[in-house]
Amino acid sequence: MKRIELEIVALSHSITQTHSYAVVLGEVNGLRRIPIVIGGFEAQAIAVALERMNPSRPLTHDLMKNFMMAFNVELHEVVINDLQEGIFYSQLVCSSANDTVEIDSRTSDALALAVRFGCPIYTYDNILEQAGVLMEDDGKKKKEVAASITSEEGSADNLKTMSLEELNILLNDVLEHEDYIKAIAIRDEIKSRGK
C-alpha cells in the first residue's frame, strides 16, 4: 500500500462539534487535506509545540517525550493506519537500542508527539481517498496554524476592539492560566498591529 507524507496545515475550532477542534493534515507536495476532530487539550498540546511556546511546567506530551528520551526511545514516525466509522487510528513507530516497536495511539496524541519529535507523519492512499478533501491550487503554500484558533472569549472580532494595553493584560492572564490556544490568537492580534 502506498504511504503518503502529511503535514499539519491548520488548527481551528471544529465547525461540526461544539467544544472540539479540527486539525487539518495536508498531503506534502499535494492538494488533498484530511480534517480530524480532536479535543481541546490535544489542540492546545499541538498548538504549544507548533508555536514553540515554553509552558512553565511540562504538559502531558512534553512529559511523554522527556520520558522517552530518558530511556533512549526515539519516535521515528507516526502512521495514520486506519479509519473506521469516522475514527482515525494511528501508530507510533519507536525504537531503542534493542528493538523497533509500533505502539497504538490516538491520532491526536500521535500528532502532538510528532510535532515535539519533529518526525514525519504518514497515511495510506486509501485513507486519503476515503477521508480527504481536494483543495484548489492557489499557487501558494501557506501555513494556517493558529491563525484561526479562537474561542468565544478571545474571538478575533473581540480582540480587534481591544487596545494594545488590554491585549497585553489579557495575554498575561491567559498565559498565567496556561490557555495557550487563546494566547496564540492574542499574540497574533498584537503582532498584526506592528508591536
Q: What is the pLDDT along the chain (195 residues), one digit of tens a residue?
A: 899 999 998 887 765 566 778 888 999 998 888 889 898 889 989 998 988 888 888 889 999 999 999 999 999 999 999 999 889 999 999 999 999 999 999 999 999 999 999 999 999 999 998 888 777 554 443 333 333 333 334 455 578 888 888 888 887 777 666 666 677 677 778 878 874
Domains and CATH numbers, the chain: 3-134 (3.10.690.10), 156-192 (no CATH)
The H or E element spanning position 175 is helix 164-176
End-to-end CA distance of the chain: 49
Query: How many Cβ atoms from other residues are within 10 Å of residue 75's Cβ?
Result: 21
Note the pTM of the prediction, 2 decimals. Answer: 0.72
CA distances from 94 to 113, 121, 191 (A): 11, 13, 38
